[in-house]
Amino acid sequence: MARVAIALTCTAEQRRELMALARSRTEEARLVERAKMVLACLEGKRNDVVGRELGVRPNTVGLWRKRFAASGLAGLRDRARPGKRPTYGAQVRLRVLRQLELPPPAGMAGWDGAALAAALGISDDAVWRLLRREGIQLRRRRSWCVSTDPQFAAKAADIIGLYLNPPQHALVLSVDEKPTIQALERARGYVLTSSGKVVHGLKSTYKRHGTVNLFAALEVATGIIRGKTTQTKKRIDFQTFMTELVAECPADREIHVILDNLSTHKKNDAWLAAHPNVTFHFTPTSASWLNQVEIWFGIFSRKAPAGASFASLAQLIQAIRDFTEAYNRNAAPFVWRKREIKGSQLRYTIVNLRN
């Protein structure tokens, strides 16, 4: 006796969802095919007829007819499968994480996948899969700086207060210097590698044409940069730069200058006495990252001197001026924040600090 296929019914909402799934260009192809099977069955067609129309076997149509009758649209999705039992369990994860907190093998600066696998007696592939799953990148480096300044909180609050809520009508400047920028001359250009990729090539040999120092002041409220190049970076050079900055402002305007603890920034009492509208604010020791001009120095280093070629010191100085002028045309204040260290990163950091 021939078997009779299960009769299907559905709500209007289910039919709309089935039709949308059958027309979808983004869903998995198997789900689209199953929706088409069910829609054809809802029209009263037999399993063998639907199979011929869609190029599948009748028993496949019967399977998804039954699954839809029992579970609706949810029945068209694959059920969870147990899969192969993992070779390495949760204990291996703990062993790898604990091993990372131990000193690396003698002669090595840090752990790599092969060293971890050898130390734990497991495969390289298992180690790398676990590291990827945990988000651990053994070759990526991040530095941190821990200030031991006993007045850290007070000094940091003073500077952050100037960023967030400066005195009314006052000018807040972040000032520092970038020393010994080299004028290097070397051949460069785009080259085709043996792998077929085009890269920026630099000749290994070069000529030195001297160095220059760059004093820079970032106007915190606008992002505008004022710069000055010098051959030396002594206290007199710093004072000359500051005198030029102050001369551009009205004599009665308050000027607050954020500085790090470089020796040339200290012992300027005579200069400050001659400029009573200027106040120096020093970052805590080992916390020059609180000075926003350091962000601009990073942008400048990546975009101006890095990988460039200068046939003379004058050419380097002109490049610095050109970059500063171009930057100021689109300058904007920085939205300043520091990256937070947490979780396993913090635990690993503490271990290293103790060592």
The per-residue pLDDT for range 158-202, each reduced to its tens digit, is 999 999 889 988 999 999 999 999 998 888 888 888 888 998 888
What band does 86 get if pLDDT is binned at 50, 70 and 90?
low
Distance CA 133, CA 111 (A): 17
Query: Do strands 188-192 and 198-202 pair parallel, antiparallel, or not at all (unpaired)?
Result: antiparallel
What band does 349 get if pLDDT is binned at 50, 70 and 90?
very low
Average pLDDT (108-119) is 91
Q: Which residue has the higher pLDDT, 208 or 251?
A: 208
User: Look-up: residue for tokens 């199979």?
Assistant: 51
Which DSSP string do the residues of 70-108 spell out, in sequence order? HHGGGGGSPPP---SPPSS-HHHHHHHHHHHTSPPSTT-
Average pLDDT (262-285) is 94
pTM of this prediction exceeds 0.75: no
% pLDDT > 90, the chain: 60
User: 206 vs 117, 184, 186, 201, CA distance in Å?
Assistant: 43, 6, 5, 13
pLDDT digits (tens, 9 = 90+) for 311-327: 999 999 999 999 999 99
Residue 116: closest CA among 144, 143, 87, 136: 136
Q: Which residue has the higher pLDDT, 202 or 76?
A: 76
**What's the CA dihedral at 127, 128, 129, 132 to 10 degrees?**
130
Asked whether 146 and 280 are in contact (CB, 8 A), the reply is no
Average pLDDT (198-220) is 91
What band does 351 get if pLDDT is binned at 50, 70 and 90?
very low
pLDDT of residue 202: 83
Question: If you count them, how many residues does the chain have?
Answer: 355
User: Look-up: residue for tokens 């050898």?
Assistant: 118
Residues β-bridged to residue 278: 255
pLDDT digits (tens, 9 = 90+) for 15-35: 999 999 999 998 999 999 999
pLDDT of residue 225: 96
pLDDT digits (tens, 9 = 90+) for 128-143: 988 998 889 888 887 7
| Structure tokens, 38 | 């069910």
| Structure tokens, 177 | 């210097």
Fold of 152-329: Nucleotidyltransferase; domain 5 (3.30.420)
Residue 262: closest CA among 175, 353, 190, 324: 175
User: Look-up: residue for tokens 């200068």?
Assistant: 310
Instruction: Parse the chain into domains and list their residue ranges.
Output: 12-76, 90-142+340-355, 152-329
pLDDT digits (tens, 9 = 90+) for 323-343: 999 999 999 999 866 666 555
**What's the CA dihedral at 68, 72, 73, 75 to 10 degrees?**
-60
What band does 2 get if pLDDT is binned at 50, 70 and 90?
low
pLDDT of residue 312: 93
What residue type is assigned to position 38 of the chain? V
Distance CA 8, CA 253 (A): 83
Average pLDDT (275-304) is 92
